[in-house]
Structure 1
Amino acid sequence: MNPYEQKRRWKFLLLAFAFVIASASLWYTNYLVKNIAVSERTRAEVWAMSFKKIIEIEDINDEYLTVIFSIRDSLSMPTIVTNEQDSIIYWRSLDSTKTNFQVEESGNESAIFTRKIHDPRYFKTQLAEMKSQHIPIVIIKEDGQKWFVYYKDSQLLSQLRVFPYIQLMVIAIFLMVAYTVFSSSRRSEQNLVWVGLAKETAHQLGTPISSLMAWIELLKSKFNADEDPLILEMENDVQRLEMVADRFSKIGSTPNLHSHPVFTVISTYVDYFKVRTSKKIKFKVSGDQEVEALMNIPLFEWVIENLMKNSVNAIEGDGTIEIQVIENLVKEQVFIDIIDSGKGIPRLKFETIFQPGYTTRKRGWGLGLSLTKRIVENYHRGQIYVKDSEPGIATTIRIVLKSSTEYEPADA
């Protein structure tokens, strides 16, 4: 299975697992809320009956009266009783600082009077909240008047209604942390494997490369072929192999960056690359020939090589690949635009193409652009991204490097 597809499948399974947990939590909490709400409604109705008995009391024994008052006083939910005109007749379990506070009034210079008043805005707010939560309980008095008992959720029920959202946040945070830790550990493990594999590859390439160099020198001396074009191209290829081995040996190490003319470095590699590519594809390097940037040439040529190979694979038949070098004097940066006339990149894939394992080729590993991004961002402290792409017309990938001389090499 494609590693990118496998990673996406794991993400989907993780999200599905989170959805199941969240759904179960919401369902069970909602079940509890409904049961508690029914229980509180029953308690409120019993309280309303006891309240009605109290207001209608005429001749009742002390024992029965004690039971009724006990029922009345047992209700802990905030409650307001009103008449048909919404005038408040009775309340309980409200904020005492709002329902009963003192105001000082000066009668004269020698005396200060204090009176108790209520905050009407508080009662209005509480009554509106109670009306929005529950249908009132109606008390019909003996004279036919109707009183209405309004109440709102107890503190426990209010907290329980909020609890699922807190629980969902905790689950989401846990999943995010778990996924981050898992990804980080897997990434660190993969990095160690790749660094070891790269260094072993460089070591294994060393012996045959040295032998090939010796054989070329023997051919040149035996056949007096110092200027033979075929021998020169063979020598170029062996030097390229030597550079590839050097690249692999540098993976995991801190590269040395030096100031180099960008145009010259790119042109040199393009001259080598284009004679090994289809003649249907035209190459062009343009822009500022004097601008310099901080780079490690073997690693940076690897970046250009990967990008140009992807451009060649994207071109079907005749096409062009142009590399433009642009200096940004304001930000002390160098822009390197690789423009090809290939099939293009869908906008939704602008970031995906740089992920490990992503490839559109049947036999591809999906590592080229991922490695390119790592070299540019981790080793050169630069940027790389898809600037623009129009399918069938042109695709532009931009590299941003530092052009200043003050630079600290990146950690491997």
Structure 2
Amino acid sequence: MTVHKDNLFQYNTKQRWKVFLLLFAALIAAASLLYTNYLVKNLSLSERTKAEVWAMSTRSILSMPDVDDQFISFVYAVRDSLSIPAIITDAQGNIIFWRGLDSTKTNIKEHGGDSTQQALQYDPTYFEKQLAEMKRSHPPIDLLLDNNETWSVYYKDSDALRQLRVFPYIQLSLIAVFLAIAYSVFNSIRKSEQNLVWVGMAKEAAHQLGTPISSLMGWLELVRMKFDAEDDNILNEMERDVKRLEIVADRFSKIGSTPTLTNHIVYNVILDFVNYFKVRTSDKITFELQGDRTIEAKLNIPLFDWIIENLLKNAVNAIESEGKISINIIDNIAKEEIFIDISDTGKGIPKSNFDSVFQPGFTTRKRGWGLGLSLTKRMVNYHQGQIFIKESEIGKGTTFRIILKSNLRYEPTQV
């Protein structure tokens, strides 16, 4: 099995676990809501039964004035046991009786003549609102009297039932907030551990490269002296490659430290690297650099060259035989930003992979670790910038866009 398949399998496995956990969480939420709705439905039926009992007890009191006092007391007790808010209206819609409403809005005292009378009156505005809410909540219970007049009994849910309706949503929201905080904390710890491993490996790699690079420089000087080849083109190119190795080692040695950012003309920095890179690629691939030649930005040259190198290597790998790589530098004066668009005429990237390509371990190459674009994004972040796929079309090519601040001061973060 190739490295590509291993990495892709691990990436797909991680994605499947995320989907599985998301579905499991959705299943728990759905089960909680279904069970709560089941309880709400049963309690709602129970409260309607109570409202019907209250209505019938009220009718009994009105239709049986000469019944035994003990029985009447029992009927009153049944009626008064109702705990939910309710209103009875006559055939014309006038309010006759109520239960469980705000006592401050009822039993208003009226003064007449020399005496004070207690009248069953109510605040019209308050009761109209309550009646309208009850009509929206449940269909009325019809109450047929002995004189064939029909009264209507309206009621609404008790406070307990209303709270039960919203409880699962509050509970799930709190659980979601807790899980989000827990995930953020654990993810931060995991990234911190990864960063420690990354920093340790990078510094060790820089240390291990130091000795052979120094030896190669020494051997080159000996070859020049022995064969009197001070201006030999082959040896000069070899020296450039060895110096390139020194830059790579320097990059790794800077991991974990705060990079130094200084003002540079972006066009010149990119041009220097393109001139080095293009002689080491196929003659069938042409390079074009255009755009603003004067705009400056705060850069760390070794790290910024690494960004451009990774993107150019990706572009070369995407071009199967011959093609073109274009770099365009655009000054977005309005937002004080620099756009660096790197385009190729390669095979393109599916839109479904636009975000995935920057994830560690994601690669479509047979031999690759899937770290190039992940590191590129990380280094762009060191420059307080952004990188994303601006556009891509299968069979026609891809354009990556880097956004940097143009010559503005900001505090760099650790590499």
After TM superposition, the score normalised by the length of structure 1 is: 0.90
Deviation string 1:12-54 (CA, Å, 9 cap, x unpaired) is: 1221221122122112212221221222222222222211111
Post-superposition CA distance 1:273-315 (Å, at most 9, x none):
1122111110122223333321111111000000001111111
Question: Pick from 393, 396, 406: which aligns with 1:393?
Answer: 396
With over 3 angstroms needed to count, the CA separation of the structure-2 counterparts of 1:101 and 1:236, relative to structure 1, is: farther
Name structure 1 gaps, 5 residues minimum. Answer: 105-114
Q: How many Å separate the matches in 2 of 1:47 and 1:310?
A: 78
Corresponding residue number in structure 1 for 2:56: 49
Q: Aligned partners of 1:276 and 1:156: how far apart in 2?
A: 76
Please report the RMSD computed on the Cα atoms of aligned residues, expressed in angstroms.
2.5
Give the alignment partner of residue 218 of structure 2, picking from 207, 214, 217.
214
1:111 corresponds to: none
CA shift, 1:193, in A, is 0.7
| SS of match in other structure, 2:88 | strand
Which structure ranks higher in relative contact order (CA pairs < 8 Å, sequence separation ≥ 6)? 2
Distance in 1 (alpha carbons) for counterparts of 2:380 and 2:110 = 73
Matched, 1:266 2:273: no
Indicate whether 1:21 and 2:22 are aligned: no
Structure 1 residue 406: deviation in Å?
3.4
Q: Is the 8 A contact 1:100 1:119 kept in 2?
A: no
Q: What SS is found at the alignment partner of 2:130?
A: helix
Q: Distance in 2 between matches of 1:143 and 1:218?
A: 124
Identical-residue share of aligned pairs (%): 61
Name the residue aligned to 1:87: 94
After superposition, what is the alpha-carbon deviation per residue over 1:347-399, rounded to whole angstroms, capped at 9, x for unaligned? 4433332222222223322211111111111x211222222333333432222
Deviation for aligned residue 1:100:
5.5
**How far apart, in 2, do the equivalents of 1:16 and 1:178 lie?**
18
Paired amino acid for 1:384: I
C-alpha offsets along residues 154-182 of structure 1, whole Å, 9 cap, x if unaligned? Answer: 11011111112112212222222222222
User: CA deviation digits over 1:95-150, x for unaligned, max 9?
Assistant: 2344456899xxxxxxxxxx996343433332232233323222222222222222
1:296-335 aligned within 5 A: 296-335=300-339
Q: Is the 8 A contact 1:342 1:392 kept in 2?
A: yes
For the pair 1:183 / 2:187, whether they are aligned, the reply is: yes
SS in 2 for 1:89: strand
* Residue 37 of structure 1: aligned partner: 44
Count, aligned residues? 404
3-state SS in 1 of match to 2:66: coil
The one-letter code matched in structure 2 to 1:139 is L
CA distance, structure 2, for counterparts of residue 102 and residue 389 of structure 1: 79
TM-score by length of 2: 0.90
SS at match of 2:152: strand
SS at match of 2:363: coil
CA distance in 1, matches of 2:199, 2:108: 75
Q: Secondary structure at the match of 2:235?
A: helix
Give the match's secondary structure for 2:97: strand
Q: Which residue is 2:291 aligned to?
A: 287
Aligned to 1:169: 173
Check the 8 A contact 1:338/1:396 in 2, yes or no: yes
Give 2:407's match in structure 1, choosing from 390, 396, 404.
404
Partner of 2:74: 67
Contact 2:87-2:99 at 8 Å conserved across structures: yes
Taking the aligned partners of 2:307 and 2:204, their CA distance within structure 1 comes to 21
Contact 1:77-1:154 within 8 A present in 2 as well: yes
1:384 maps to what in 2?
Answer: 387
Q: Which residue identity lines up with residue 363 of structure 1 in the other structure?
A: R
Q: Distance in 2 between matches of 1:65 and 1:328?
A: 87
1:108 maps to: none
> 1:157 corresponds to which residue?
161
Tell me if the contact between 2:106 and 2:120 (Cα under 8 Å) persists in the aligned partners.
no
d(CA) in 1 for partners of 2:87 and 2:36?
28
| Partner SS state of residue 290, structure 2 | strand
- 1:255: how far off? 0.8
> In 1, distance between residues paired with 2:31 and 2:48?
26
